[in-house]
Amino acid sequence: MKTADVNGGDETGMKINGKKGWFWTLHGKLFTFIIASINRGAEILYQHFPMGFAFSVQVHDCWRCYFKVVAVAHQICLAHLLREFNHFSDCYKLKWATDFKQLLVETIAFKKTLLPGDYHKTLIQRTQFEERLAKLLQEHIKKKHPLALSLQNRLVKYRQHILTFLYYHQVPPDNNGSERAIRNVKVKQKISGQFKSFTGAESFAILRSVIDTAIKNNLNPLHSLSQINALHL
């Protein structure tokens, strides 16, 4: 229906000089931007992206700070939701969770059948998915399932961001790309356990941003790093 760039976001904890720190990643088709931070609040996004993501659909895991930044639209990660529904379905035999899981699985499969031009059309299947979603969000859940009730309330709050991917060709239904973009931070953590200084964490973030962005653009990472180094000589 619309066209827009796609910007995925994710964050992960990391010890920096023995204290709690965070690494953020914002990535798109041709770039990866990694940020070292001492907190997980929206001010980090304001600091680095004061204009927000005014031309991008933001894909993320539903962390509330992402909703505070300007974006064309948001897509919350369905992979995260499916894991929660699997838990409720297996542990509590909750039909609501099973039905919701089935809906999400069907929408993901449906997207794979769409061509770029289909998003500009009125799609009966998409309308039916929206109607099923509305019913599931209104379905009564007993108080003896407080976690499921909490999830339903969260999804009611973010209802307009559940099926965004059915309206934009390039928007994926999950945040897997962001998790891949931040994977090297977790590898670093497994090897050394932490960064000894915030300066070291920032340097790592900058280097990984340059290397990963170069790879996405079919450039030689070492050549890209040498060019940047030459600018500072």
pLDDT in tens, 30-51: 999 999 999 898 999 999 998 8
pLDDT in tens, 123-147: 999 999 999 999 999 999 988 889 9
**Residue 223 pLDDT more than 90?**
no
Q: Set out the domains of the chain in order of their start, with CATH numbers.
A: 5-75+176-231 (3.30.420), 78-160 (no CATH)
Residue-level pLDDT at 1: 34
User: Would you say the C-alpha torsion 98, 103, 106, 112 has a positive or negative sign?
Assistant: negative
**231 vs 233: CA distance, rounded Å:** 6
**58 vs 171: CA distance, rounded Å:** 9
At position 87, the amino acid (one-letter code) is: H
The mean pLDDT of 219-232, rounded to a whole number, is: 79
The mean pLDDT of 61-88, rounded to a whole number, is: 94
Three-state DSSP class for residue 35 = strand
The C-alpha angle 26, 31, 35, rounded to 5 degrees, equals: 40
Residue-level pLDDT at 228: 78
pLDDT in tens, 97-118: 999 999 999 999 999 999 999 9
Of residues 90 and 150, more confidently modeled: 150
Residue-level pLDDT at 3: 46
Q: Which residue has the tokens 């001010």?
A: 43
Taking the model in full, what pTM does it have?
A: 0.90
What are the helix and strand counts (H, E) for the chain? 9, 5
**157 vs 172: CA distance, rounded Å:** 21
Compute the mean pLDDT over every residue in the chain, rounded to the nearest whole number.
91
**Residue 2 pLDDT more than 50?**
no
Residue 166 token pair: 């059915």
Are 57 and 28 within 8 A, CB to CB?
no
Closest Cα partner for 188 from 36, 82, 76?
A: 36
- Residue 194's H or E segment, with its range, is none
pLDDT in tens, 148-206: 999 999 999 999 999 999 999 999 999 998 888 888 888 887 888 788 899 999 999 99
Q: What percent of the chain has pLDDT over 90?
A: 70
Q: CA dist 175 to 2, 121, 135, 141, Å?
A: 20, 26, 25, 28
**108 vs 85: CA distance, rounded Å:** 15
Residue-level pLDDT at 194: 83
pLDDT confidence bin for 4, thresholds 50/70/90: low
Residue-level pLDDT at 66: 94
pLDDT confidence bin for 224, thresholds 50/70/90: confident
DSSP assignment of 143-189:
TT-HHHHHHHHHHHHTGGGSSGGGT-TT--SS-HHHHHHTHHHHHHH
Residue-level pLDDT at 232: 57
Three-state DSSP class for residue 124 = helix
